[in-house]
Structure 1
């Protein structure tokens, strides 16, 4: 028996999965690490915590599975996007990583827009948003010039972990597309963007395909992890690109809804010249010469997690959701907007904040819980509508992540999106996508599409219920009114935070 390993480096934990040639997950393990928020709007992590947790998780994975080290043919990565890691000439980290959900860089975003104007969308195909890597790099350039002067290389989170495991620098196209420094259609670092901010191209690592071989494990890492030093390591991809692989989003007409800490609506795109005016993200796929369009809700699962910790800390998620099915669609006149950490799509607004609208004395915990689920899904519906407006047919959506673990929420997605929702038989999300890259890189399949056909099976479909769809159509229009009517209030309250 032979295996591959998928490593999914998330915001709160790293997950490793051991997968056989049939796509069966034989074993899995997760190791968590802390998140630091030293100031409002700041979000940082120690890169070395990622490395330590990854090695521990690999060791425990091998122990639990009892797989022979020589049976593991390769491993690959999925990684949280955009996070800035700066290293010196010896590969030592110069400061904590600035993460995707860090919002300190609004001024740098305005600087990018003023400097590049229309060229930014022409080249990078995305707006300047606080989550991207370039604004973070400019923040360090401006605020920490001594650290910036020592920087020899910038890396994204999974690329730093892979460097520590193999000793080789690289970045794949799907993750590089989220830096705001890549010529997305041209698949190269943009000299125009780098020169505009006096950034040397040598700061950027070599670009590779997601399935490209990037060395083998260093001897000390192999010993610590229980693997062999001959184990092949493949580049990997951005978490959303890997999530798309793990959901089989590999041809035109396929769309995915992924609800984790953030929420994503993602659709395959083979046109490199489609003009979406920056309303949704346009990134390189892990599939060669392909792209995907994507809308993002910054606080999707994070909104539910915040709600539970704040208002129901003494019960489990299962208990919290147990009464939701008895609450009617619309939560008896209660609306929630999930803007608790700002918003990305369709409102690129770091200052907007969330709200409950319509509270009265009749509302109990299940009403608020259902309203949170509905608000998250309404926010994702806005991205669905942008895809539809671009000419895409969004009639079937594969749901993965936390939103695919609850039947009530899956049916809610079908009704709010007015589309069939597919749940996979074994849903591992980005971790499975990473394993698929390792399988393809190891020569198990002739294409990623062939790998998906072998690894992924549909389990159940949820069909829209016409009478509920009609009610949600009315509520969605009300939901869309909340942002413009609370924007000025959020901006005024920002100075009092």
Structure 2
């Protein structure tokens, strides 16, 4: 039996999922962790060679399992985290660590772009569809131009982790429209690199990869790097898209009114639309998934990392014990509010300087209250973004939830109660990898459209909202939104 493999290159893990070509069963799965380095405050970097080794491990393991099953891998497609940047030489060898999305070193450059009298930031948002923030490779390149110009000058290529991996796999420097959109350097209308963005970033066109659609395919190149993957000769590689876009597809969320909410280390809330969308105030992203499919929404820096902070640094307990404590407290945490801005914030504030806070603390509040308020704060922030989305494209009628938080029934039920709509979980939590496989099915003609592909997605449990708790949470959301207007 033929298999399709979806690879998800995330911030904390590289995963691979092999499914039968008819999607009737999962044949193999593998995962390998990746380390994020913080050499200085505000920095977040990863070793590209470590990521290549992680990819090699998961592909070799999946290949062995598929062989043992008596099946054959015919296609491999890629989902990848956005906003990474590294410098490479002419042979694709890294000249730097990869600066990842959570790195805030380019705060000053983002501030200059956003607040400059020439309004270049607003102009580029309209071109690119991505709000100005230090996460953008656009701003990271401007930081390099000012702080390490020698590295930028001697780099034959600058691009994302995905471009680095794709070069080793295929011998070509190419980037899909989806990852390119997230760079802040891509004119989404002309489908070309933006002259104005390149000038601001201090980068030449020849240093950037060739632009290709998300359904672009190439054969695996045979070389010393790829021999360790265990993939069969002739396997076809599909470049794929960004993790956010493919998570929507893999969650079966391409129809109007279906909202995807993802919480991993960070988080995002998104809908799929048929036409590009721009927010006049530049608060929402709009990424390309495929021709005629765009993913609109807002990302948060503060998702599962808040629970990690609570567990490891604040309470020094296991995550499960921390979640259990939160269940002891009633909805609304007896008035305690948490603003979850531990690592600055993207949507809805777009302020890298924002910081978190507990508000309305009083004598009755226990450690369990602090946990419940923190979990609620993460969701309240995401639902604030969702209200903004609703003003542009209509109300949510159902939420498809995925990411690490979906493993906690308590946290997912909290989301349903807050949102006041049903929350559905996928049968598999690997929505990015599944989205990559579904995109492959469309690319090779097994389905006619992404709408048809999304119909293949299977679901597990649905959480229904509790009406009384929803009424209480409407007031909590209002108080939260009033509080974040004063965040500094």
Kept in 2: contact 1:395–1:418 (CA 8 A)? no
Per-residue deviation, 1:196: 4.7
For 2:281 and 2:274, the matched residues in 1 are separated by 17
Q: Does 1:108 align with 2:109?
A: yes
Q: Which deviates further from its counterpart, 167-176 or 362-371?
A: 362-371
* C-alpha displacement of 1:459: 2.3
Residues 217, 228 of structure 1: 8 Å contact kept? no
Question: Are 2:243 and 1:239 aligned?
Answer: yes
In the alignment, which residue of structure 1 is the partner of 2:297?
Answer: 294
* Distance (Å, rounded) in 1 between the aligned partners of 2:167 and 2:70: 21
Matched, 1:434 2:463: no
406, 409, 415: which is aligned to 2:408?
A: 406
Partner of residue 265, structure 2: 261
Taking a change above 3 Å as real, the CA distance of residues 450 and 170 of structure 1, as seen in their structure-2 partners, is same
| TM-score, normalised by the number of residues in structure 2 | 0.94
Matched, 1:27 2:32: no
Distance 2:105 2:274 in 1: 34
Q: Partner residue of 2:150?
A: 146
CA shift at 1:42, angstroms? 0.5
1:68 and 1:224 map into 2 onto residues whose CA distance is 20
Counterpart contact for 2:138–2:201, Cα < 8 Å:
no
1:377-392 aligned at under 5 Å gives the runs 377-392=379-394
CA 1:477–1:94 in structure 2 vs 1: closer, same or farther (change >3 Å)? same
Map Cα deviations across residues 20-54 of structure 1 (whole Å, 9 max, x no partner).
Answer: 12323222111112111111101111111110110
Per the alignment, residue 490 of structure 1 pairs with none
Return 5+ residue gaps in structure 1 as ranges: 488-497
State which drifts further: 104-113 or 348-357.
104-113
Using a 3 Å threshold, how does the CA distance of structure 1 residues 105 and 372 change in structure 2: closer, same or farther? same
Farther-moved stretch of structure 1 (169-178 vs 153-162) = 153-162
Deviation at 1:332, TM superposition (A): 2.3
Question: How far did residue 184 of structure 1 move?
Answer: 1.6
Task: Please name the residue that 1:306 is paired with.
Answer: 309
CA distance in 2, matches of 1:319, 1:311: 13
Distance 2:371 2:388 in 1: 27
Q: Secondary structure of 2:353's partner?
A: coil
2:212 maps to: 208
What residue in structure 2 maps to residue 193 of structure 1? 197
Shift of 1:343: 0.8
Kindly state the Cα deviation for residue 275 of structure 1 after the two structures are TM-superposed: 4.3
CA distance in 1, matches of 2:68, 2:385: 42
Secondary structure at 2:11 match in 1? coil
SS of equivalent residue, structure 2 residue 433: helix
Where 1:30 maps in the other structure, the secondary structure is strand
Deviation larger for 295-304 or 462-471: 462-471
Deviations 1:199-218 (A, max 9, x none): 32122211112121033143
Could you list the runs of 5+ residues in structure 2 that have no partner in the other structure? none
Q: Secondary structure at the match of 1:42?
A: coil
Give SS of 1:348's match: coil
SS across alignment from 1:127: coil
- Give per-residue Cα distances to partners, 1:57-97, cap 9 Å, x unaligned: 11122234444797101111111101102112222211111
Matching residue of 1:493: none
CA contact (8 A) 1:31 1:56 kept: yes
1:70-219 superposed matches below 5 A: 71-113=72-114, 114=116, 116-219=120-223
1:89-141 C-alpha deviation (Å, 9 max, x unpaired): 22221111111111111221133343525422221223321111100011111
What SS does the aligned partner of 2:182 have?
A: helix
Structure 2 CA distance, aligned partners of 1:186 and 1:415? 43
Q: CA deviation at 1:289?
A: 2.7
Measured against aligned partners, the alpha-carbon deviations of 1:340-373 in whole angstroms (never above 9, x if no partner) come to 0001111111111112223345434432222221
- Over 3 Å counting, the alpha-carbon distance change for 1:395 and 1:452 in structure 2 is closer
2:4 is aligned to 4
Rate the CA distance shift 1:185–1:363 in 2: closer, same or farther, 3 A.
same
Count, aligned residues: 484
Map 1:420-459 to 2 at 5 A: 420-454=422-456, 456-459=457-460
- SS of residue in 2 equivalent to 1:390: helix
For 1:350 and 1:43, the matched residues in 2 are separated by 14
SS in 2 for 1:11: coil
Let me know the Cα RMSD of the aligned residues: 2.0
